[in-house]
A and B are shown apart, each in its own frame.
Chain A
Amino acid sequence: MNENATPDPAPHTHRAESASGPQTSADGVVTHSVPTDEAVLSCRNVNKVFNVAGNKVHAVDDVSLDFAAGKVLAVVGESGSGKSTLARMLLRLMPVTSGTITFRGQDVTHIKGAELRRYWTEVQAVFQDPFASFNQFFTVGSLLRRSLKLAAVDKAEADALIEECLGYVGLTPKDALHKYPHQMSGGQRQRVMVARALMMRPKVLLADEATSMLDASLRVNVLNVLHDLKADLGLTVLFITHDIGQATYLSDRVAVMEHGKVVERGTTEEVIFSPQAEYTRRLLADVPDLRGSLKQR
């Protein structure tokens, strides 16, 4: 854990594998570089096909990605790009149509029951909607205590663990545990959700649009919490977002998805500052610029 705690100061652009420049594969995937660090979670040729009223919809199309330990990988895509479907498959909340998901070298694509619950002690998630993520009938305390059976701690340690996890997100048991979701703001709710995910002391935290429903000023806050979790706990963060700006702020590596396919991947610098794929370029061009009025006057 400790060797991951120090942030990597060297920009990834100067790594050996990218010296030869971005590679474009036969199916048009631009790969600037592949992570050199050991992958903690990876997926190979993952597909998801939905049957919608008799039509087959290819939501995720042959996606292979590696998530390097102790790094933040952003999966960027617009609505319908399949990024959330991919996230749910990686979380094993949804079965894959084909392909494999491996966690620390172990195939977890089809695990069930106790094994799956063990997987969830290692891979946790925070979702988009800071209200719908809560069971509104329960307090924060019961939400967190519910995770204890996966956290594998005895009663004596439980309170300490809860306090520790709330502490990571700047909350104290005194002002959080007795609260119902409606008594908290969106930012607080989302931080409680992060605390819940940390209860199992996971290796991987998947944030599925976790900041997109927050106000801008709170968003930076939650992103900073994710930053610090990576740096201090060596957490691997999968940051799923439609907002390429947030990916720029937070991530070490970026994968861009379009229509279920990964179209470009590499370090943040490579993908955002020298995009190769047509789609990435268009995406970046369409992002509104604070200083770019479209008025012709």
Chain B
Amino acid sequence: MTTTPAPQSGAETGVLARVSDVRCVYGGGEQDFTAVDGVSFELNEGEILGLAGESGCGKTTLGNALAMIAVPPLYVLSGRLGIDGREIDLATLNAADVKAHRPYRGTTVSMLPQGAMNAISPTLRIRSLVLDVMRAHDKNVAKDEALDLARDRLKMLEMPVRVLDSYAHQLSGGMKQRVITVISTLLNPRLLIADEPTSALDVSSQRMLVEMLLAMVEQRIMSGVVFVTHDLPVLSQISDKLAIMNRGAIVEMGPTAQLVEDPQHPYTEKLLGSVLDPTAETRRKGKEWLTGGSGLVRSATETAASGTSPSDTPKGATS
């Protein structure tokens, strides 16, 4: 597919995946919209990369490209994923490209899409979901074998095995999200792409999911995670490395603690500055605003000025 010689990602110890030059567009009749504009990064064995940015920055699009699940109108123009000594061409320009991705989907790279927990069929028990996932990969897998695997996994992660016999509506949101995470990693993918898995959850459920993901990486159920979210505090809990995306490009990347403590890019600084956590610092900021000056005139100007924020543009104009 590509003539570029494959970098020896397998030979270098420690490097799990090398992503280079991913470019994605949303196809329009007359004109395409570029959603991801040349993104490259490396992920080490056992690492979790946090991909953060505001809506429309291209983070979900990048996740879809990496998981090889891009469907029109999203087209991946270019991009390579070096993993396990193989060099996968991520481009999806024609049917042949898409077909070439099939053997990697779910095994090499698995995707936990946004809102997956609400997409579980209400009429089926969780166990049939397990079978679906396993059979999508191997048509001849035995029912008992698949369920045994799922049971083992659940036990391993200290989750109740009886969820397999439940229907989606009988489980809480947090439990649904954890179960679907376990199911989507049954095939031991090398890399898991998780898109906003915590966003619809309460803080307590968020924490349980984060802890479970950490345990899963620890036990090498998967060897690496790309965690996509807008929620910086969650990312700082879980990720080794943070990548901040804006307008389709990574503007800053580095070890989590370093990036949080000492952001270099003004956009990173702005994002970190707008985090509101229940601390004295937040309280002080709030009060400062109140005692800070001439009230509405100020907020009106400030608000009007914020129209330049990347995410503060009409929906259709962004990805």
| Alpha-carbon gap, A184 to B315, bound state (A) | 7
B300 lies within 8 A of A245 (CB): no
B312 lies within 8 A of A188 (CB): yes
B315 vs chain A, min Cβ distance (A)? 6
If over half of A's interface residues share one DSSP class (helix, strand or loop), that class is named, otherwise mixed; here it is: helix
Interface string of A206-226 (1 = CB under 8 A from B): 000000000111111111110
A272 lies within 8 A of B238 (CB): no
| Alpha-carbon gap, A293 to B258, bound state (A) | 12
Q: A288 touches which one: B236, B261, B302, B313 (CB < 8 A)?
A: B236
Contacting residues, chain B, for A167 (C-beta < 8 A): 296, 300
Instruction: Let me know if A273 is at the binding interface, CB within 8 A.
Output: yes
Contacting residues, chain B, for A185 (C-beta < 8 A): 307, 311-315
* Contact of A224 with B236 at beta-carbon distance under 8 Å, contacts A182-B314, A293-B256, A294-B211 already known: no
- CB-contacts of A221-275 with B (<8 A): 221-225, 227-229, 231-233, 242-250, 268-269, 272-273
A221 vs chain B, min Cβ distance (A)? 5
- CB-contacts of B201-218 with A (<8 A): 202-204, 206-207, 210-211, 214
| Alpha-carbon gap, A243 to B277, bound state (A) | 8
B299 lies within 8 A of A283 (CB): no
Contacting residues, chain A, for B128 (C-beta < 8 A): none
Interface string of B276-301 (1 = CB under 8 A from A): 11111011011101110001101111
Instruction: Let me know if A284 is at the binding interface, CB within 8 A.
Output: yes
Interface string of B192-231 (1 = CB under 8 A from A): 0000000000111011001100100000000000000011
- CB-contacts of A159-181 with B (<8 A): 167-171
Q: B286 touches which one: A215, A227, A244, A287 (CB < 8 A)?
A: A227
Interface residues of B (CB under 8 A from A): 54-55, 173, 202-204, 206-207, 210-211, 214, 230-234, 236-238, 240, 256-257, 260-261, 270-272, 274-280, 282-283, 285-287, 289-291, 295-296, 298-304, 306-307, 309, 311-316
Q: B233 touches which one: A182, A250, A290 (CB < 8 A)?
A: A290
| Alpha-carbon gap, A167 to B298, bound state (A) | 11
Q: A217 touches which one: B203, B271, B283, B316 (CB < 8 A)?
A: B271
Residue of B nearest to A247 (CB): B278
Contacting residues, chain A, for B231 (C-beta < 8 A): 288
Q: How large is the interface on A (under 10, 10 to 19, 20 to 34, 35 or more residues)?
A: 35 or more
A169 lies within 8 A of B303 (CB): yes
Instruction: Let me know if A295 is at the binding interface, CB within 8 A.
Output: yes
| Alpha-carbon gap, A216 to B229, bound state (A) | 12
B312 lies within 8 A of A218 (CB): yes
Q: B275 touches which one: A216, A228, A232 (CB < 8 A)?
A: A216
